[in-house]
Amino acid sequence: MIEKPNILVIDDDEAILDSCSQVFKKDGNTVKTAKDGTEGLKLFKKEFFHVVLLDLKLPGPDGMVVLSRIKEENPETPVIIITGYASIESAVEAVKRGASDYLPKPFTPGQLRVAVKKAMDNRKILLENIYLREELEKKSEFDMVVGKSKAMERVLDVVKRISSSDSTVLITGESGTGKELLGREIHNHGPRRKAPFVIVDCGALVETLFESELFGHVKGSFTGAYETKHGRFEVANGGTIFLDEISGIGLNIQAKLLRAIQEREVTRVGSTKPLRIDVRILAATNENLEGLVRKGKFREDLFYRLSVVPIHLPALRERKEDIPYLIEHFLQKYNKKARKNIIGISDGVKKALMDYDWPGNIRELENTIERAVVLSKGSKIELEDLMYHGISTATSLFHPVKGKYHTLDDIEKEYIRTVLLAQQGNKSKTAKILGIDRKTLWAKAKKYKIQ
């Protein structure tokens, strides 16, 4: 995706303003011009510019002052100093203060184009570095493993048909079914595969910071805004933004998100300048959004904007024929991590894993296999290994260990602990899965000393 820059030229020389305008407009770019520092700063505060060309000798605030104010408000905006030969020394000084380059007068259209392209490339690298730093922090070896079930074949058929498009996709499914992984697959097989895939965990953000996270903020826009922040939409520009647990955002932010999707532009908190964005939007939720719409908790117009192509990921209990493929994948993955050589699982373990309903889905299965690999003493995972280490496979409690059966309290305790773990400690969701209220769950957790 080629981003056409919006360029601001600040110079008191009419000939420079006219020639720059002609060159940029001929290339299909937009350009604004200003004859002095005051007018230039007024334009800069009004709208977003990808590149600024700035003369140092200006009426009103001189170029150095204008440069400082631009870098204070938008540090990532590249500023190219355009100057006469007599001012090269001061241009070099400006570069030390944050200007990205300088261009001596007189310059040719070709030199002008090269300087702007270089500035745009540097800006792109800056945003990519932000994205790459985040990716390195959450780097995962886990790839999408689907198995052979008809349910997943249907999902992949839809994915193949829509990956090459730019359609907005809403992925639904229980917690742990692999919604983020499916989102990555859609991105990786589409035309934006070489651009960023940026994840926003809507369920983990407090509402007061949500707008800043999505759209960014300018320095000083609120208490604690010590520097300008790039929003997730800006970092994802040219690529894909994945809005995970989209049901977790309030109605106020929903309205602003809807506007961003419709207008394809965002405005940083504390700014009035809209920033054009070019992103593909994928959203995911484990909630029934249609039900939330009926209750007035989710905007109907946003729901329809997000669910252009709906994809439902089935729960693991609905695709149990895929479990052996997933087990094999996780065994290989954690053998490598733990530097072990566990060759497989016993028939008893296989039956226990196949019989269990997996309320935490693939995430719970992965955690189970990881713990078993790390803690198992033999070359195969046995029922005793799962039980002894408290692995969350309650079905194995039905089998005697060394001739001894477990009590009903043992089974209930382990099952409650398993579901709590799968739901990451969320008591409301756990109680719902268990078919009891929160008060009963609290009482049982206290009885069995479950933390």
Sign of CA dihedral 385, 390, 392, 396: positive
Q: Establish if 355 belongs to a structural domain.
A: yes
Specify the pLDDT at position 401. 53
Three-state DSSP class for 66? Answer: helix
Give yes or no: residues 435 and 380 share one domain.
Answer: yes
Specify the pLDDT at position 125. 75
Percent of the chain as helix, strand, coil, to the nearest 5: 50, 15, 35
When pLDDT is cut at 50, 70 and 90, the band that residue 47 belongs to is confident
Percent share of the chain, pLDDT over 70: 89
Q: What is the separation of C-alpha 152 from the centre of its chain, rounded to a whole number of angstroms?
A: 24
Specify the pLDDT at position 246. 94
Specify the pLDDT at position 291. 93
Specify the pLDDT at position 36. 92
Q: Is 292:298 a contact under the CB 8 Å cutoff? A: yes
- In this structure, what DSSP letter does residue 266 have? E
- Tell me: the pLDDT tens digits for 266-281? 888 888 888 888 999 9
- Tell me: the pLDDT tens digits for 241-257? 999 999 988 898 899 99
Q: Is 243:200 a contact under the CB 8 Å cutoff? A: yes
Percent share of the chain, pLDDT over 90: 30
When pLDDT is cut at 50, 70 and 90, the band that residue 171 belongs to is very high
Q: Establish if 145 belongs to a structural domain.
A: no
Q: Establish if 83 belongs to a structural domain.
A: yes
Q: Establish if 257 belongs to a structural domain.
A: yes
Q: Establish if 88 belongs to a structural domain.
A: yes
Q: Which of 287, 314, 341 is the last residue of a domain?
A: 314
Give yes or no: residues 357 and 440 share one domain.
Answer: yes
Q: What is the CATH number of the domain that holds 220?
A: 3.40.50.300
Give yes or no: residues 308 and 328 share one domain.
Answer: no
Q: Which of 260, 292, 314 is the last residue of a domain?
A: 314
When pLDDT is cut at 50, 70 and 90, the band that residue 146 belongs to is low
Structural domain of residue 280, as residue ranges?
A: 150-314
Give yes or no: residues 350 and 380 share one domain.
Answer: yes
Distance CA 135, CA 129 (A): 10
Give yes or no: residues 10 and 54 share one domain.
Answer: yes
Give yes or no: residues 22 and 115 share one domain.
Answer: yes
Three-state DSSP class for 353? Answer: helix
Strand order in the sheet with 169-172: 197-201, 240-244, 280-285, 169-172, 309-312
Give yes or no: residues 285 and 325 share one domain.
Answer: no
Q: Is 152:325 a contact under the CB 8 Å cutoff? A: no
Q: Establish if 349 belongs to a structural domain.
A: yes
Distance CA 297, CA 253 (A): 12
Distance CA 6, CA 50 (A): 5
Specify the pLDDT at position 301. 95
Distance CA 383, CA 405 (A): 13
pLDDT for 358 beyond 50: yes
Q: Which residue has the tokens 């992984």?
A: 181
Specify the pLDDT at position 139. 46
Q: Which residues contact 184 (CB under 8 A, 6 or more apart)?
A: 144, 197, 242
- Tell me: the pLDDT tens digits for 418-436? 778 767 778 888 888 887 8
Give yes or no: residues 128 and 165 share one domain.
Answer: no
User: What are the φ and ψ backbone dihedral angles of 284, each rounded to 5 degrees?
Assistant: -145, 150
b/e for 292-304, b at 16 or more Cβ within 10 A? bbeeeebbeebbe
Q: Is 326:333 a contact under the CB 8 Å cutoff? A: no
Q: What is the CATH number of the domain that holds 62?
A: 3.40.50.2300
Q: Which residues contact 303 (CB under 8 A, 6 or more apart)?
A: 289, 290, 293
Q: Is 210:219 a contact under the CB 8 Å cutoff? A: no
Distance CA 7, CA 366 (A): 50
Q: Establish if 1 belongs to a structural domain.
A: no
Considering only residues 98 and 292, tell me which one the structure prediction assigns the higher pLDDT: 292
Q: How many independent structural domains does the chain possess?
A: 3
Q: What is the rounded average pLDDT for all residues in the chain?
A: 84
Identify which of 5, 6, 20, 4 has the alpha carbon closest to the alpha carbon of residue 55: 20
Q: Establish if 143 belongs to a structural domain.
A: no
Give yes or no: residues 48 and 164 share one domain.
Answer: no
Distance CA 387, CA 393 (A): 8
Specify the pLDDT at position 308. 94
Q: Which of 106, 134, 162 is the last residue of a domain?
A: 134
Specify the pLDDT at position 341. 85
Helical (H) or strand (E) element with 108: none
pLDDT for 90 beyond 50: yes
pTM, two decimals, is 0.64
Specify the pLDDT at position 142. 39
Give yes or no: residues 341 and 304 share one domain.
Answer: no
Specify the pLDDT at position 1. 44
- For strands 280-285 and 240-244, give the pairing: parallel
Helical (H) or strand (E) element with 220: none
Specify the pLDDT at position 388. 42
Q: What is the CATH number of the domain that holds 323?
A: 1.10.8.60
- Tell me: the pLDDT tens digits for 374-399? 878 888 888 766 654 444 444 555 55
When pLDDT is cut at 50, 70 and 90, the band that residue 190 belongs to is confident
Give yes or no: residues 305 and 328 share one domain.
Answer: no
Give yes or no: residues 125 and 266 share one domain.
Answer: no
Lowest mean pLDDT among 114-118, 173-177, 345-349: 345-349
User: What are the φ and ψ backbone dihedral angles of 330, each rounded to 5 degrees?
Assistant: -70, -35
